[in-house]
């Protein structure tokens, strides 16, 4: 009886593990299998400008540009702001408040992206429209700003952890050498936590690339690269917004659907490489003090 139970137990945990592995592989396989028709017929014409399903033209350059532009804007705002704020919560804020502030920030990290989309559409995009005298406030910049706010809590909490995990001795020794507080941060703490801070930024980058709802509502959803390309106050399209807008409308099995799958697969590979790379990078950097 006991042996039997032992076997059932082992069977259960083993089955769960294989199910989990199978699900992950299945997602990759299904996406690849469905993007195959587009990859084989359209091929390198994917890297052109026009997207016109009626004529079987599927160029993804404008979406790639949109994704990169929006993500870059988001990181440009969120990284400096997030790291400086994390320095504040870890090094300046007294310890007894730190737990509360950190908990609050962690809670904010959980606000669903659709709500950022709503705030963007109801408040931020009208502001952008009046501020820059545009006809519509749905631009690459608007999406980037909202995305920055979305990834800000992630960057703050992870960077704060990285800094706070550095043993107190380092600060005391640096102080003993007569360094100013900013020099302690700049010369001692940041170099030690560098790897983990980079990890935080990469993780945030992964989230930003894959984010759909807020971006879809705010980016304007027009398949073109602005003229000139640095005029980011104009509408664009990202990979995720394209998927969100069109997957529901395209027929299963059509070339159009397959092409959407292909850009989804592209995004998947990009994000997964980034995630796994970050994990490997972080694992190497674990210090034992």
Partner 1 sequence: MSRALKNNVYNTLIWTAAVLSIAILVFLIATLIWKGMGAISVGFLTSASENFGSEGGILYQIIGSLALTLCAAVCSFPIALGVAIYKSEYVKSKVFQNITDTIIYSLNGIPSIIFGIFGLIFFVNILQTGVSWFVGGIILAMMILPTIILASHQAIRSIPNSYRENAQALGLTQWQVIRAVIFPRGINGAFTGLLLGLARAIGETAPIMFIATAFSGVTVPRTFLEPVSSLPTHILALAQQATNPQALQNAWGSSLVLVSLVFIFSISALVRRIQYSKINY
Considering only residues 46 to 105 of the shown chain, the ones binding partner 1 according to CB under 8 A are 80-82, 84-85, 87-89, 92, 101, 103-105
* 17-25, 42-50, 60-68, 190-198 -> range binding partner 1 (CB under 8 A): 17-25
Q: Which of 54, 95, 96, 122 binds partner 1 (CB under 8 A)?
A: 122
Is 276 a binder of partner 1 (CB under 8 A)?
yes
Q: Interface residues for partner 1 in 218-237 (CB under 8 A)?
A: none
Note whether 106 and 98 are within 8 A (CB): no
CA distances from 143 to 6, 20, 25, 197, 247 (A): 54, 34, 32, 24, 21
Is 114 a binder of partner 1 (CB under 8 A)?
yes
Note whether 116 and 150 are within 8 A (CB): yes
Residue with Cβ nearer partner 1 (117 or 226): 117
First to last CA, the chain: 47
Query: 51 φ, ψ to 5°?
Result: -120, 105
Least CB distance from residue 93 to partner 1, whole Å? 8
Q: Which of 49, 76, 111, 131 binds partner 1 (CB under 8 A)?
A: 111
Is 16 a binder of partner 1 (CB under 8 A)?
yes
Residue with Cβ nearer partner 1 (46 or 266): 266
Residue with Cβ nearer partner 1 (2 or 54): 2
Cis peptide before 228 (omega within 30 of 0): yes
Least CB distance from residue 190 to partner 1, whole Å? 12
CA distances from 146 to 47, 110, 124 (A): 28, 15, 8
Residue 166: which of 127, 128, 138, 193 has the closest Cα? 193
Least CB distance from residue 230 to partner 1, whole Å? 25
Question: What's the longest Cα–Cα distance across the chain?
Answer: 78
CA distances from 223 to 175, 262, 275 (A): 55, 17, 28
Q: Which of 230, 248, 286, 288 binds partner 1 (CB under 8 A)?
A: 248
Note whether 77 and 148 are within 8 A (CB): yes
**Judged by CB under 8 A, how many residues of this single chain contact partner 1?**
86
* 8-16, 39-47, 162-170, 193-201 -> range binding partner 1 (CB under 8 A): 8-16
Q: Which of 39, 61, 275, 281 binds partner 1 (CB under 8 A)?
A: 275
Is 165 a binder of partner 1 (CB under 8 A)?
no
Query: 52 φ, ψ to 5°?
Result: -145, 90
Least CB distance from residue 125 to partner 1, whole Å? 9
* 44-52, 65-73, 193-201, 239-247 -> range binding partner 1 (CB under 8 A): 239-247
| CA 120/CA 141 separation, integer angstroms | 11
Burial 59-82 (b: 16+ CB within 10 A, else e): bbbbbbbbbebbbebbbebbbeeb
| CA 219/CA 237 separation, integer angstroms | 6
Residue with Cβ nearer partner 1 (234 or 258): 258
Q: Which of 158, 201, 225, 243 binds partner 1 (CB under 8 A)?
A: 243
Q: Interface residues for partner 1 in 189-218 (CB under 8 A)?
A: 206, 209-213, 217
């Amino acid at each position: 009886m006991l042996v039997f139970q032992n076997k059932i137990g082992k069977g259960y945990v083993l089955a769960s593990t294989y199910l989990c592995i199978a699900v992950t592989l299945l997602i990759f396989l299904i996406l690849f299998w469905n993007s195959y028709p587009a990859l084989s017929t359209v091929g390198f014409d994917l890297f052109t400008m026009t997207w016109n399903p009626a004529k079987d033209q599927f160029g993804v350059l404008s979406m790639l540009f949109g994704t990169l532009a929006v993500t870059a804007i988001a990181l440009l705002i969120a990284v400096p702001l997030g790291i400086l704020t994390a320095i504040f919560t870890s090094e300046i804020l007294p310890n007894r408040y730190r737990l509360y502030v950190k908990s609050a920030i962690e809670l904010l990290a959980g606000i669903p992206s659709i709500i950022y989309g709503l705030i963007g559409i109801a408040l931020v995009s009208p502001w952008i429209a009046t501020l820059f005298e545009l006809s519509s406030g749905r631009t690459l910049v608007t999406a980037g700003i909202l995305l920055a706010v979305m990834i800000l809590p992630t960057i703050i909490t992870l960077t704060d952890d990285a800094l706070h995990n550095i043993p107190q001795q380092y600060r005391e020794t640096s102080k003993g050498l007569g360094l100013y507080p900013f020099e302690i941060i700049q010369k001692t703490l940041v170099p030690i936590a560098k790897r983990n801070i980079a990890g935080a930024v990469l993780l945030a980058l992964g989230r930003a690339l894959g984010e759909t709802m807020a971006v879809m509502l705010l980016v304007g959803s027009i398949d073109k690269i602005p003229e000139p390309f640095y005029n980011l106050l104009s509408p664009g399209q990202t990979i995720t917004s394209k998927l969100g807008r069109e997957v529901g409308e395209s027929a299963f099995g059509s070339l159009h659907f397959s092409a959407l799958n292909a850009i989804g697969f592209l995004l998947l590979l990009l994000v997964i490489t980034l995630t796994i790379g970050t994990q490997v990078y972080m694992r190497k950097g674990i210090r034992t003090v």
